Amino acid sequence: MSKYYTNEIEKRFFEKVEKTDSCWNWTASTDRTGYGHMSINGQLKLAHRISFCIEHGRESKDKVLHTCDNRRCVNPDHLREGTQKENVMDCIRKKRRYEQNLLFCPHGHPLIKDNIYIHKRKRRCKFCKNKSDKIRRNKPPILNGNNGYGFGNGNGFGFKDGCGYG
């Protein structure tokens, strides 16, 4: 793995870190929000981001988040890039937008004013709903097999396969 910072900078960094069994606490200055920071080549950098660079040999393209809720912590095991969750959120947003703009249902019926209804905040196809309702209605009722009352299977009163439904 290529080094991101020089040995000298790494040394300077770790001099300010107090390692415990879990968190590595930043002992030098912090910013107003409580995150540790250190100046590198005249630029103030967040300590946990520096730690990320040292660990991964690259700058994080996204936020570096703490999994331990300790803003002073620079333990790379307690840090992760913020991309994954944000990607997922982004996907959900895109999907929602896509669904809102759909012109046809999955079966190709136009999603226009007279053919849409809202179900769980989504636009659904009425035609498909009616169709599936009809199928449901045409299914023989579920019988409990309580033959003593005259509605069990195959006793001449119930519904048998091929009795004209469907």
| Contacting residue, 17, 23, 47, 50, with Zn ion by CB under 5 A | 23
3-state secondary structure the chain: CCCCCCHHHHHHHHHCEEECCCCEEECCCECCCCCEEEEECCEEEEHHHHHHHHHHCCCCCCCEEECCCCCCECCHHHEEECHHHHHHHHHHHHHHHHHHCCCECCCCCECCHHHEEEECCEEEEHHHHHHHHHHHHHCCCCCCCCHHHCCCCCCCCCCCCCCCCC
5 or 127: CB nearest Zn ion: 127
Which one, 69 or 161, has the nearer CB to Zn ion? 69
Q: Phi/psi of residue 15, each to 5°?
A: -65, -25
Answer for which of 127, 129, 147, 153 binds Zn ion (CB under 5 A) is: 127
Binding-site member from 38, 47, 79, 105 for Zn ion (CB under 5 A): 105
Q: Measured from the CB of residue 20, what is the shortest distance to Zn ion in angstroms?
A: 9
Tokens of 16: 């300010």
Query: Can residue 128 be called a binding residue for Zn ion (CB under 5 A)?
Result: yes
| Smallest distance, Zn ion to C-beta of residue 113, A | 14
Q: Pick the binder of Zn ion from 53, 73, 79, 116 (CB under 5 A).
A: 73
Q: Which is nearer to Zn ion, 96 or 131 (CB)?
A: 131
Q: How far is the CB of 47 from Zn ion (least distance, A)?
A: 12
Least separation in angstroms between CB 146 and Zn ion: 39
**Positive/negative CA dihedral, 104, 105, 107, 113:** negative
Identity of the residue, 127 or 151, whose beta carbon is nearer to Zn ion in the bound complex: 127
The footprint of Zn ion (CB under 5 A) covers 23, 68, 70, 73, 75, 78, 105, 107, 109, 125, 127-128
